[in-house]
Amino acid sequence: MYTSGKASKYMSNRNAPFDPDFVRPIAEASNKQLLIIFCKNPVIGQCKTRLGATLGDESALAIYHFLLQHTANVCRLVPVQRRVLYSHKVAGQDCWPEDIFEKNIQQGEDLGQRMAQAFADGFTQGYTNIVLIGTDLYDIDAPLIGQAFEALKTKDMVVGPAEDGGYYLMGLNHLNSELFNNKNWGTASVLRDTLSNLHPESYHLLPLRNDIDTEADLHPIDIFKPFLK
């Protein structure tokens, strides 16, 4: 856990609100739909490096912890099976309680391979609709994720486009490994290349959203102001 002055000052307010009456443990969630969360282990100097370049590593880590907690609170409200896949190792006591989230480690060399493997594992285990998100988006909520699952009832794929040319959400109702091959991950062409060979009627696009990657991404959002002082 981080101990910087800014982080400590903000700790008491950093948990995004959620209603525990709507939180469903794993055993009570829908057993045919799976929400996968890709989570980079929060290590100072190794996460949110573009934020760290201008705000310092401690502030970048504090912001990432906030985003992690916010994402966990949102995902608790989605009545499906929930699985957190860590980048390097499974954490014990963190913002992802084990009675609500399954935990495992991402498998694969690059982001595309890791996502493809995550979907493949889910479909092999019998899930029919799978949605995958990351932990870089503040402007996400349970209804938006619900829209993604609803879209998979009539479309093969659902995508949440990000302002940087990538995507913040991917949902599938069957495995299509080609979606994850030969992509320049981290560039502005990812979304365009992903959709280029697909029929427009086969997928649904969610509203455009902006990931939190740089200091400029923080300024329009009031809740991040304490981190900028």
Instruction: Compute the average pLDDT of residues 122-148.
Output: 97
**pLDDT band with cut points at 50, 70 and 90 for residue 92:** confident
Q: Give the pLDDT band (50/70/90) at residue 137.
A: very high
Return the exposure string of 62-75: e unless at least 16 CB atoms fall within 10 Å of the residue's CB, then b.
bbbbbbbbbbbbbb
This prediction's pTM: 0.87
For the residues 117-130, what does the mean pLDDT come to?
A: 97
In the chain, where are the structural domains located? 5-228
Q: In what order do the strands lie in the sheet with 157-161?
A: 102-105, 80-86, 30-39, 129-133, 167-172, 157-161, 203-205
Residue 162 pLDDT > 60: yes
Residues 138 and 209 sit within 8 Å (Cβ to Cβ): no
Task: Give the helix/strand (H/E) hosting 201.
Answer: none
Q: Which amino acid is at 146?
A: G
Q: Which stretches of 88-207 are DSSP H helices?
A: 111-124, 142-151, 190-195
DSSP-derived secondary structure letter, 210: -
Report yes or no: 48 and 164 within 8 Å, Cβ to Cβ: no
Q: In 56-211, which residue ranges form alpha helices assigned H by DSSP?
A: 57-76, 111-124, 142-151, 190-195
Report d(CA 61, CA 43) in Å as an integer: 7
Instruction: Give residue 26's pLDDT.
Output: 54
Contact status, residue 62 vs residue 4, Cβ threshold 8 Å: yes
Give the model's confidence band at 158: pLDDT under 50 very low, under 70 low, under 90 confident, else very high. Answer: very high
Percent of the chain predicted with pLDDT > 90: 77
More confident residue, 26 or 203: 203
Confidence of residue 28 (pLDDT cuts 50, 70, 90): low
Find the range with the poorest average confidence among 134-148, 174-188, 198-212: 174-188
Residue with more model confidence, 208 or 21: 208
Which superfamily does 5-228 belong to?
Spore Coat Polysaccharide Biosynthesis Protein SpsA; Chain A (3.90.550.10)
Cα–Cα distance between 81 and 125 in angstroms, integer? 12
